[in-house]
Amino acid sequence: MAPKKKIIIDTDPGIDDILALLLAFAQKSEDVEVLLVSLTFGNVEVKSCLRNVVSMFHILEREMKWRKEQGKPEGFDTLRAHPPLVALGAEDPLDDQKMLADYFHGIDGLGGIHGSHPHLTPQDAWEHLFDPTHEPIELKPVPSGCGAHQSFIPSKRPAHEEMLRVLRENDPDTVTIVAVGPLTNLARASAADPEAFLRTKEVVVMGGAVHEPGNVTPVAEFNAYADAFAAARVYALSSPSPKSTLPFCKSLPDLPAKLSRQLTIKIFPLDITSRHSINRGQFRKATTPLVEAGSPLAEWATAFMAHTFATVERLHANQVGDAAELDLHDPVCVWYALTAEDERWKPSATSPEDIRIETTGQWTRGACIIDRRDRHPIDGDEESSSDHGLWLSQRAGNRIWRMDKSPVEGNFGEVLIEQLFT
């Protein structure tokens, strides 16, 4: 039997982030354990992200109760067996001007659901559970039958500190971090204790656009753009010489000159994630009977997905009616973490690649930069007049695995529906 996968999900929920979390929690408890959900600003402000996550747990508790009453398997085994720690993280990017994606996800991150469907949002006070100025609470799940919040463990510590604690408490190379928002929490954790952070098995990143156009500028994908300095710092940990690509950042210290190992980073840029989607017709066909039967999860998901498909129609003239599609950027990263042993996952033929994140360009913030020149590599670590930035040095530059092939390309929408609703 394969060892249980241990994952940290760093996220900014957000519609596809919620779908990614649901996908993780729908797995069998013997297969996966979500150790930590660390939250960052991104799609919306971080406290709105927290409300969305708490609402998700609230809905899942109601969903499992409803399924049991219907004589159905409760599902969401790993959530019931291993309630995850939830920690509040970065409110702002490191050195960049803040940009949010509420233009797509809605002002609250879920299409305005907290205003339009207040009965689906927990009404009891829960914010104090994460407030360090209140009395500390014992970090253990509430026993079954004792009311709300039995499905997660609230933390009063910053997300990057919890991330490091989890990594220290588990053996090296056993915990995968799935980062589907701006990389600010990861940058803070790696700056606070680089060697503890390097205990990570691998970091799976949804971010960037390499050979495809960006989705917030002509060259930049949202997560890389939202905190370009954080992305550049995390990517630098993959280099045999981190200082060769590390940007100056006034809010965090430099990394040590020498580290014990290189970080394994596998990125899922728009080049691959945009080939994984779900359309309105697929979603409607699967969820309408469940909504009519009284499923709280189907009702909740239908509410925020209706906003999503309407937004897609507004942004894309060729996507109307049942053909309107949501790209499943974040869920595909979680699916990789859950099924990484499937040999049909393939990196690009040129991986590992020296991919760097632009931090200072007027029009290119967050862009993935690669060297497109046909030049011979140089065995040296000093800049030359023909190699500014050490792009040709075999001892410098990042070493990023860019994922390029997927076993679920073309049918991931069906896979997601089956995992969440069947």
Locate 104 and state its tokens: 């797509």
Contact between 323 and 280 under an 8 Å Cβ cutoff? The reply is yes
CB < 8 Å & 24+ apart, contacts of 64-73: 66/294, 66/295, 66/296, 67/295, 70/293
Contact between 178 and 54 under an 8 Å Cβ cutoff? The reply is no
Phi-psi region of 401 (alpha: psi -120 to 50; beta: other; left: phi over 0): beta
pLDDT tens for the chain, residues 1 to 422: 678 999 999 999 999 999 999 999 999 999 999 999 999 999 999 999 999 999 999 999 999 999 999 999 999 999 999 999 999 999 999 998 999 998 899 989 999 999 889 988 887 667 888 988 876 544 444 333 333 447 999 999 999 999 999 999 999 999 999 999 999 999 999 999 999 999 999 999 999 999 999 999 999 999 999 999 999 999 999 999 999 999 999 999 999 888 999 999 999 999 999 999 999 999 999 999 999 999 999 999 999 999 999 999 998 888 889 999 999 999 999 999 999 999 999 999 999 999 999 999 999 999 999 999 988 888 877 777 778 898 988 889 999 999 999 999 999 999 999 999 98
Tell me, what's the pLDDT at 136?
54
Tell me, what's the pLDDT at 301?
97
Contact between 185 and 15 under an 8 Å Cβ cutoff? The reply is no
Surface-to-core class of residue 31, CB atoms within 10 Å of its CB (0-12 exposed, 13-18 middle, 19+ buried):
middle
Which residues are 378's β-sheet partners? 393
Contact between 45 and 229 under an 8 Å Cβ cutoff? The reply is no
What residue has token string 């919306």? 44
At residue 279, the 3 state secondary structure works out as strand
5-11/265-268 β-pairing: unpaired
- Count how many Cα atoms sit within 13 Å of the Cα of residue 124 in the half-sphere of its side chain: 7
* pTM score, whole prediction: 0.95
Tell me, what's the pLDDT at 124?
65
Residue type, 48: S
Tell me, what's the pLDDT at 236?
97
5-11/325-327 β-pairing: unpaired
5-276+327-421 has CATH 3.90.245.10 classification? yes
In the chain, domain spans: 5-276+327-421, 278-324
